[in-house]
Chains A and B, each alone.
Chain A
Amino acid sequence: MNLNGQAWKYGDDIDTDVIIPARYLNTSDPSELAKHCLEDLDGEFVDKMKKGDVIVAGKNFGCGSSREHAPLAIKAAGVSCVIAESFARIFYRNSINIGLPILESVEAVAAIEEGDQIEIDVNSGKIKNLTKDEVYQAEPFPEFMQEIIESGGLIKYVAKKVNK
């Protein structure tokens, strides 16, 4: 899976409350959620980003609540991948389960600047910075998680198993 988009850069400890504020949690409609993606962090994000763009952030991205609405909002907004130094564990799990590509790479986060054009090969974890002509390597997923991702998310993976 090859992804390509422009980088939007944010800091450490971006929590799920700013990714999708609780005032919008009275719905689970992805297209509704997408309208408010990152609203309390960067009110203009949804207007300025283009489909396929990439969020690049510091450590502990997605900390806080277990709301799957957070990765759902990011995915539905059209973000193709989130690259962070590290992810909060529930966000990490949720992203894999719903099929939002995420990659951990301290090196990539340090080097990528806002506006850089990024190309990502999710399977190998290779991140190409087309603007700077650099390549970074993210941690590849363990085999078991790759299996989930390749099945198209946890639900399809489980459905395959129970319907065997």
Chain B
Amino acid sequence: MGMTMVEKILAAHTGKEKVKPGELINAKLDIVLGNDVTTPVAIHEFDKIGVDGVFDKERVVIVPDHFAPNKDINSAEQCKFIRDFAHEKEVVNYFEIGDMGIEHCLLPEQGLVVPGDVIIGADSHTCTYGALGSFATGVGSTDMAAGMATGEAWFKVPETIKFVYTGELNEWVGGKDLILYTIGDIGVDGALYKAMEFSGEVIEDLSMDHRFTMSNMAIEAGGKCGLIEPDQTTIDYIEDRAQREYTLYESDEDAEYEEVIEYDVSEIEPQVAFPHLPENTKGISEVEDIKIDQAVIGSCTNGRIEDLRLAAKILEGKRKADNVRLIIFPGTQEIYKQAMKEGLIEIFIDAGAAVSTPTCGPCLGGHMGILAKGERAIATTNRNFVGRMGHPESEVYLSNPAVAAASAIKGEIVSPEEVM
């Protein structure tokens, strides 16, 4: 019996020929990641272990992105605490604002995570790097602490569910719609404890940015990770960035899957997830009369250059509705610069958008665009839980960047077709 990609990667990091779903293993880690919310807790725990330094100064990555630039005094203290730790332990990959980006846009861009890696991050969307063909999963602060000290973590080898996407994509449909549709189908616990593997001709034709968006939201289906088999697209992306050797793993033909789910994408239109769960999805044609107060384009889900290009395509020469606040936050400084070179930032500002330095900001209701009671936002982010973007009685609708941009122009949730 063959092995899935996840099983192969985990076996290789455990020094075993083979691992099986359900097996508890201790795996070597290639990267241990934390941010300004999770790292302070991890440092307190790390200090209790009684080791002098981190297991590898180059393989611990710390990114203050959630409440950075510091939003208040408490956040400033948290950021200072992790900055001091990074300096004291000589953590090479600490990213200060100005160099920083949203962690899950930043790490692949900087070539810090590569195909074949085992990565833990004290942030649930660490699963994003599965798009490169690596095993990447979100953990808590205590796991991060133990990982920083030992370079290892315990895992239960997950079963894999394979998703096969075939057919032709409709206009304005991309990675975000595919993953929202999938979550709508299987539910927010549809892949609980499982590995998701995205495959099929549609995925083979997807660009890296769209792939990252899909893997990013594996956790919204309860998944442990969301992998895509590395191919030429992956190699083209990683070749000039990779800071380490990488290994390309493929699932065997006779690998055992818990389930194989197939979708014909020609039936999928742009998706909108209604409050308060990502599984409450509807096709855009079924969405009517949802007025919005704010549109947010960015985040680790849709803050990459292709997302911004898509938004600019819709916004060019147009203006947002008067009663809508449009906030755009590029994922990293590199993406910001690229968007400037391409004239996208000018399009955004002319359209009446506030363009922010990279930060998680409004995505988690941190700062830079919090909703008041009763307000509604459309966002390209990944979660629409109660109170996610502000007041517990506010609402978040999730969509792709084209739908969010079109909705900003109309003042209500609409298909991009209505403004083009």
Contacts and interface: CB of A to CB of B under 8 A. Distances in A.
Contacts of A41: 386
B45 A27 contact: no
Given A88-B189, A159-B49, A28 B40 contact: yes
B49 A155 contact: yes
Given A18-B385, A154-B142, A162 B50 contact: yes
Interface string B110-136: 000000000001111010000000000
A98 interface: yes
A90 to B, nearest CB: 5
A16 to B, nearest CB: 8
Nearest to A87: B192
Nearest to A71: B140
Contact of A155 (B45, B138, B192): B45
B382 to A, nearest CB: 10
Contacts of B145: 155
B140 A68 contact: yes
A86 interface: yes
B235 to A, nearest CB: 30
A40 B37 CA distance: 19
Interface in A147-164: 153-156, 158-159, 161-163
Interface in A125-159: 142, 144, 153-156, 158-159
Given A68-B140, A154-B143, A25 B37 contact: yes
Given A26-B75, A65-B124, A17 B387 contact: yes
A7 B5 CA distance: 43
Nearest to A159: B49
A22 interface: yes
A93 interface: yes
A155 B48 contact: yes
A84 B329 CA distance: 38
A66 B122 contact: yes
B386 A159 contact: no
Contacts of A68: 38, 41, 122, 140-142
Given A28-B41, A63-B189, A144 B66 contact: no
B222 A22 contact: no
A72 B45 CA distance: 13
